[in-house]
Amino acid sequence: MSNLIRWEPMREMMTLREAMDRLFDDAFTRPISMSGFSGTPAIDLYQNDDEVVVKASLPGLKAEDVQITITNGVLSLRGEFKQDDEKKEKTFHIREHRYGSFERSITLPADVQTDKSKADFENGILTITLPKAEAIKPRTISIKAK
């Protein structure tokens, strides 16, 4: 004896709809960074006992093209990648350089002394060194034996 399965067209339609939803979700809502392009610069953030260090990749920019601000423990980088003069006789086959303004804000992991901070820009890498506030630096307490 064979089993008969009742055909339910609405169930098939829901499956098709779910497949289409998944297709559109992947195509339009996937994070930009997963597609190989990111509108914000890549950064590294680390700390040691004395300072917090932020390194940002900003190829093609000059130091005067970047603004750095620190407000309430949030470090913000702003700048703009400028486009070369556009010529009409060019036919691009691949165009992956990014153009336009960017802003990247990150919360710092510790309180810092903004007045003693420094920033260096070399070979497209911006390095920001932020000394930690004295109140949060680790201290050693010596024990006196009696």
pTM of the model: 0.64
List the chain domain ranges: 8-37, 39-85+99-135
CATH of the domain spanning 39-85+99-135: 2.60.40.790
pLDDT for position 18: 77
Residue the block writes with tokens 């510790």: 110
How many other CB atoms sit within 10 Å of the CB of residue 5? 6
Q: What is the pLDDT of residues 31-50, one digit of tens each?
A: 544 444 456 789 999 999 89
Query: Which H or E run contains 3?
Result: none
Q: What is the pLDDT of residues 99-125, one digit of tens each?
A: 788 899 999 998 999 999 999 999 999
SS3 94: coil
Q: What is the pLDDT of residues 85-104, one digit of tens each?
A: 666 677 778 877 777 888 99
Amino acid at 137: K
How far apart, in whole angstroms, are the C-alpha atoms of residue 128 and residue 77?
11
